[in-house]
Amino acid sequence: MRKTDTPQRAYWLKTLHQWHWISSAICLLGMLLFSVTGITLNHAAQIGAQPQVMTRAVQLPAGLRALLAEGAPAGDHQQVPLSAALVRWLSEQLAVDVDGSDAEWSSEEVYVSLPRPGGDAWLRIDRESGAVEYERTDRGWISYLNDLHKGRHTGLAWSWFIDLFAVACLMFSVTGLFILKLHAANRPTTWPLVGLGLVIPLLLALLFIH
């Protein structure tokens, strides 16, 4: 601490530095992830991907076919989850988790959409024959990370993480701004650089985005 610092200024500088480093530590890995995926999303057309598609087919046993008929809702296009017995059987036979997923029922089939980060999947059960089809598409780890960036099909926990990460970034930025203000008197380039950080994206938006 410099001798010219007043106790109040020293207190605020210490407090701001503390919140600044705490917020930076919390959002460090998130900042790296979102920075890298910002680049990959911006150049998505130049980054090639070869989706890997896996399909499987099995047959429902007679007992489960009867259970499927008993649990059928009235009318087409009803959203009703599968029974616990069907969920357990599908997990054992196909290693797919449909617990909690809505199933769309029609007179011909039961269809379960299973979107996920970095790919897609679906399950279809023919109500007459009991034939089960499962297809899973994997678009690679870059697509997976891009979907984490967008929060696409990532669930409630990741949605909460994004919100908390945004708050940490906001705290990091605001405390950094106040720290700049406290040091600006001895660093004459501070406000011109801050101004450039504001003016450059504003000009780009006004002049080149239509």
- Going by C-alpha positions, the residue among 171, 166, 133 that lies closest to residue 151 is 166
Tokens standing for residue 81: 């989850």
The per-residue pLDDT for 185 is 84
Residue 80 has pLDDT above 90, yes or no: no
Tokens standing for residue 10: 């020293």
The per-residue pLDDT for 183 is 87
The per-residue pLDDT for 71 is 73
Which one-letter amino acid corresponds to residue 159? Answer: S
Local confidence band at 4 (pLDDT 50, 70, 90 cut-offs): low
The per-residue pLDDT for 171 is 94
CA–centroid distance for 142 within its chain = 13
Dump pLDDT digits (tens) for 182-200. Answer: 888 888 899 999 999 999 9
Contact 67, 88 (CB under 8 A): no
Contact 103, 124 (CB under 8 A): no
Residue 203 has pLDDT above 60, yes or no: yes
The per-residue pLDDT for 25 is 92
Dump pLDDT digits (tens) for 7-61. Answer: 888 888 899 999 999 999 999 999 999 999 999 999 988 887 789 999 999 999 9
What percentage of residues in the chain have a pLDDT greater than 70? Answer: 97
Dump pLDDT digits (tens) for 98-137. Answer: 998 989 999 899 999 999 999 999 999 999 899 999 999 9
The per-residue pLDDT for 186 is 86
Tokens standing for residue 155: 């669930």
